[in-house]
Amino acid sequence: MEQQSPVGRGMSSKNHLLGLIDLVYQAVLDADLWPAVLIKLADTVSASQIAMPSFDWRANVFATIAPRFDPEMVATYENYWAFREPLVSRAAQRPVGELYVLDNLMSREEFAATPVFNEFWRPTGCGLAAMGANLVSEDRFSSLICVWNAPGNDSLTTEQLRLFEVVLPHIMRAVRLNRRLRDLEITKVAPPERFDALPEAVLLTDASARVVRANALAKGCSTPRMRSRCAMAV
């Protein structure tokens, strides 16, 4: 069998990366492509797991795009761990767009001893070699992207870090464009002054159940029981 030359392998890798970046920008206009973007990114950086979660502390709402995770495990995380685990609040304090690794948030030894690692992260195929970045962090809302090597593969390579850092600005730009287009659509449907004047609590969510706007009354829906009483619109 004829072996590919180093130049050929380099061209193939470059084409794969360009294909991923092209798919990222396609997702600006078609949000259904984000799971495919994440899978392709995980493959590009040779990672076991990947997710793009968001945390809204205003209404205690968690949502994620996590195409390789078991949906039942995601539901468990949403219902219990999302606002309890130690990494989330620490990650939210990092500057937007800065690449960080697990060791920047807490020591591996400390995290490996936590219930959330042993009951959720490890069983879902996430090890201690992890990297991520904040995509949005504002007004008690954060969204990030993170990838993990499999348990036992406890070192991120220089190439993994490099590739993630190359793709990250494109993902950030696409997310900003997504949010801008969404805000324009929402403004047409629910002008801010009318939305805040509604006599009941209302949460506007996107197709992934992420809260994109809450009126004044809905900002008081801070518990699951209270949120269940809020009117929701997609």
pLDDT along the chain (234 residues), means of 10: 46 80 93 96 96 92 96 96 94 95 96 97 97 93 96 96 96 89 64 61 57 64 48 40
Cβ atoms 208, 52 nearer than 8 A? no
Residue 81 lies in a domain: yes
Q: Is 202 in the same domain as 172?
A: no
- In sign, the C-alpha dihedral spanning 36, 131, 93, 222 is positive
How high is the pLDDT of residue 187?
Answer: 62
Q: 49-86 burial by CB neighbour count: b if 16+ within 10 A, else e?
A: bbbbbbbbbbbbbbbbbbbbbeeebbebbbeebbeebe
Domain final position from 161, 183, 205: 183
For residue 223, what are the domain limits? 190-233
Structural domains counted in the chain:
2
Q: pTM higher than 0.85 for the full model?
A: no
Residue 198 lies in a domain: yes
Rounded Cα distance between 105 and 121, Å, is 16
Q: Is 102 in the same domain as 201?
A: no
Residue 1 lies in a domain: no
